[in-house]
Chains A and B, each alone.
Chain A
């Protein structure tokens, strides 16, 4: 069997039909904006800020030198081998990036730097597959600029990690950004404002942001791209400030401010024309919740020339009497894609991808098993992000992901056998995360571990469908696909009744044995917040400690990262009567940072 290349190189080789007249006009407009900015800039203030930065740099260098000078020889040796301990000093108020990268000790800094370079290499190699449309895209779409901070994102998600844990996290984040980079290149290549490649566009099936890609496994000649993922969803995890223009735009249009920022931002992206225009068709979906249902009408209205299929699964998914309708809807979707693209559904390709997906699920279960032991290994934000994008959303389509799983598994098992700790010496509490995590604070679990020694073993969003999917019988395979989609991330818990999220928490507490539950309260999530009182009532009955942490998913203006941290700080000091492991992380400013 020949080696599968994923994504198919022909997608990158598709001919562009760049509209140079449009590019010229845009560059002119862009130049005008830049010119205006230059003209209106208060250069004296800039000079003052630069001088302030230089002064702060000097002050920090002096302070760090002082700290080093004040260490004993033993502490210096530890610093040299294990790295620094005060991570809060990497942040500076009002700055987008940290003041420098973390010193992790000689060996781990070397490994970290290697991964830093490897990431750059991968990004440059991927974008060089068709660089010009992406560059043009960067001039058309404000959100493209946010992706320049992907190294910063990598750093903040790996803070404090050492040894094998650091290596595992790098492997995972590398796969995440490869997925990001490839999708960005293809989006910009197919976009009418960018590469305008009709040849590619005809092969692109756009998927609603939370729709998993498994359905595309039967169409190996096509490529499914999660439509709003790059401009909105994943972006909001990378850059906390990115979704504000979308939210403001659609709220100015009349949308109330109490709606979930995910569909709100998606609608806002339509209002300010931030979504690329490409694709043969769009698979909209009712998943995972009420707001997502409604966002599709904004997308359909913005792109009226884009044929749309609404893939809608039953809400009461445990009720097998609705299975027939779910299967009929999948069949309808397959037929729709065939009609719109001329491609034919291929069972062999589908089954091959699902075999990979099943193997990936086994690896995933292995992680759970290890993390349930007293020495959990693969914990932290990279694991959660990888699970969401490269495992569940990719759905076995990309064969390279299996290799990543395999590599990480070997590292994890070795670390487990050695009894290592991901954050060395920082394992005070075992926690699980429940409800919806804040996108704008994707590395919150990293802060929890570094500051308070709260190690998040698993998040609610991970605990989805794990039954092996059918890989022989087509009719059963469609049923399994329906079951999988019905139990996708978020939907598994928020749909089908309170048992799936409320009672489920107490079941998971029995399994994972945490001493703390990080209970997110996404203030705009109607589905979860309608259970607030029952969570409190039943937590008392079960003797479970809940730390409630409010957030607004993609809008840090409602509840800032600092406010989120404040909730934990208060709880740990007043209820748990503990002091932080790293006091420098208790109070710092990062409102303006990525």
Chain B
């Protein structure tokens, strides 16, 4: 297939947390609001003159200092962020929209505060309390938390307009990004998709890591380009897979998987498109902030939600997106040392295999997979297993 016009530019944007578009937006008066977790509604970080940056630690090498502070048995993602913060990598942020959802990330935020990793005078970290289940009173609780600890703080410190009109404008812009990413994502369901899993991963990630206003024109153009793109006559992939699990912002993960012969046709992981790129439907008759937080709570696939319907939802969603996009197997992954996904992965892997009939590859992985030989071997073996399964199914049919 012909290379996408902006692919290299997008890849370059993902090389740094404060990429060229972030710097441009800040030079134009924008406020960079970092966040890490789906529990923090992205759209709230795009209110007024703020723009959201889902923070990552690309090109992470040693995390020794963060390991001194947070020990070696804790989430590498949180440690990598702290290491980058200590190095001064998040000095550009004007605020960090934090949620107290998991211990490791919460401690990471706290270290950033205690170690004074960002010296901007008005910089703040919000510590919002996040519910474990979706009930009318927890929606109200979440709404209160977002209003008090994020929106009101933004207004008090920076004079940001957080009115309903401003929230609505942010939702509109957010929805356009979602429509574009969703439309591109749906093309992955075609028998011979005009977009690879890696390319989709890049496009989706830039939509999280760059100011919406500045990335939107390029995404619009890329959508048209992909729609008109001619896929290779003979596809390069040998099996289609869905990737499900905890946070992945590492492009190498998808690259490694696709180099092993897979094509990622569905993604259900934090920083992926499900959840995250669903449009927010707003009813004019109801409080807009309530609707926003409810949308995020209902669509969240976080293992932290412990109520029965959410536990079931996680399996149903994985099964649904894998089926709808024609996946032949599921790669169920988990960031090493993540407590929530450590418990979720074995149980869900068994359920998806035993009850939903999916071939499942269940793995834990480091934050940066780099060129992991161990993972490559497991991916290759899984792709082969899927191929053999397909051959057997065809033989049985004949």
Contact = CB atoms under 8 A, between A and B. Distances in A.
Q: Do A and B bind each other?
A: yes
5 contacts: A284-B306, A294-B306, A496-B100, A497-B127, A531-B107
B107 A530 contact: yes
A524 B103 CA distance: 12
Contact of B137 (A255, A259, A328, A527): A328
Interface stretch (B48-56, B65-73, B181-189, B293-301): B65-73
Contacts of A324: 137, 140-141
B112 to A, nearest CB: 12
Interface string B80-113: 0000000000000000000010111011101100
Interface of A: 250, 253-256, 258-260, 263, 267, 284, 286, 289-291, 293-298, 300-301, 308, 310, 312, 314-316, 319, 321-322, 324-325, 328-329, 332, 494, 496-498, 523-524, 526-527, 529-534
Give 3 closest A-B pairs by Cβ, nearest first.
A254-B346, A533-B69, A294-B343
Contacts of A286: 132, 306
Contacts of A328: 135, 137
A291 to B, nearest CB: 5
B135 A332 contact: yes
A555 to B, nearest CB: 14
Given A526-B104, A533-B70, A308 B308 contact: yes
A258 B140 contact: no
Interface string B103-129: 110111011001000000000000111
Interface stretch (B11-19, B332-340, B366-374): B332-340
B163 interface: no
Contacts, number: 150
B144 to A, nearest CB: 5
Given A316-B100, A529-B74, A532-B69, A254 B345 contact: yes
A530 B137 contact: no
B73 A310 contact: no
B375 to A, nearest CB: 15
Contacts of B131: 312, 314, 325
A315 B141 CA distance: 12
A263 B306 contact: no
A325 B343 contact: no
Nearest to B351: A301
B349 interface: yes
B133 interface: yes
A319 B69 contact: no
Nearest to A533: B69
Contacts of B130: 315
A258 B71 contact: no
Q: Which range holds the interface residue count of chain B?
A: 35 or more
Contacts of B68: 532-533
A290 B106 CA distance: 12
B307 interface: yes
Given A497-B110, A533-B69, A314 B307 contact: no
Nearest to A536: B68
Contacts of B304: 290, 293
B362 interface: yes
B362 A254 contact: yes
A297 B350 contact: no
B169 interface: no
A294 B68 CA distance: 27
B343 A253 contact: no
Contacts of B349: 254
Given A254-B349, A297-B344, A524 B73 contact: yes
A298 B311 CA distance: 10
A437 to B, nearest CB: 18
B130 to A, nearest CB: 7
Given A290-B103, A497-B127, 8 more contacts: A255-B342, A321-B144, A526-B104, A526-B339, A530-B70, A530-B108, A531-B107, A532-B71
Given A286-B132, A534-B111, A314 B343 contact: no
A300 B305 CA distance: 14
A408 to B, nearest CB: 36
B141 A300 contact: no
A482 to B, nearest CB: 12
A297 B129 CA distance: 22
B1 interface: no
Contacts of A319: 129, 145
